[in-house]
Copies of this chain bind each other. A is one copy, B any other.
């Protein structure tokens, strides 16, 4: 089916955050960092598309402050394919803008919409999943999403309840979405896990350009309409900050009919913060994980996460379960289970000495 239909990719790179401080800064968010290997996360995201979607059919939506980084890290993507958000407005405006842009160039296309900061392996299997989802989206004109089989009762993700099966596409089985569920508390997350009928909402989507525009028009006209009226980039830049800041999940997916989901049978991580590095990097015999290229020398030390640049050495003696990060001229040391409190440091530095954030 997709033999007749152009596939496009939208890489959403508008994220900012400090959960990877001190490596991530306001100026350089996580997607632009070598968190999980020799390439940055956005470079891995682009490379993962391989020949399935060539660079000229990839759009990147990024904050205007990060456009230079996108161009530098993804030099093959044509400059006109980088959409500069004047200000972050969550994912619905981002999806709408990209859909309008693609519609202008290729109205009959199918799009895959991907966060720029996930780690997914292996890439060939991923491309098979994308093709299966694109076939499904083209043929059914449904909005299609990927759902991750939960491995623990996570409270940090939204969930998708599976409905009836719509059969298979290649090796992928397609299900109806019964409902989307916002991030649950621990008890509900445990129930979800026990039933086997819930998947994590991955934030990855596949749909035809026509279908997502129709869905936006129906469910989020206050997002789509102002952007639809713009004829120039300057008009978008002026209009974008005025549209509602809403996620595509809340704005469209939870309201749309006939949404389908494909369970994601391969390795996936959104690398939420430093303690997640063991999901995406190999560990030594003592469970220590090292990223960034530094040499790590560990003595009687177990289960630590280290990130420091190539050409440096990090020596651990008798420590367990620590996060040790060196980036720029900053060092962070904290237990893995306290990583969420790094925010407190970042907030303090924001007030006292904002150059560090």
Contacts and interface: CB of A to CB of B under 8 A. Distances in A.
Interface of A: 21-22, 295, 297, 299-300, 308, 311-319, 322, 324, 326, 329-335, 338-339, 341-342, 344-345, 348-349, 352-353, 356
A333 to B, nearest CB: 5
A230 to B, nearest CB: 43
B317 A341 contact: yes
Chain A contact residues, majority secondary structure: mixed
A299 B21 CA distance: 15
Contacts of A348: 297, 299
B333 A314 contact: yes
Contact of A322 (B300, B319, B356): B319
Contacts of A339: 317
B329 A297 contact: no
A22 B330 contact: no
Contact of A314 (B300, B313, B319, B331): B331
Nearest to A337: B318
A247 to B, nearest CB: 29
Contact of A324 (B333, B338, B341, B352): B333
Contacts of A332: 315, 317
A117 B333 CA distance: 29
Contacts of A341: 299-300, 317-318
B299 A344 contact: yes
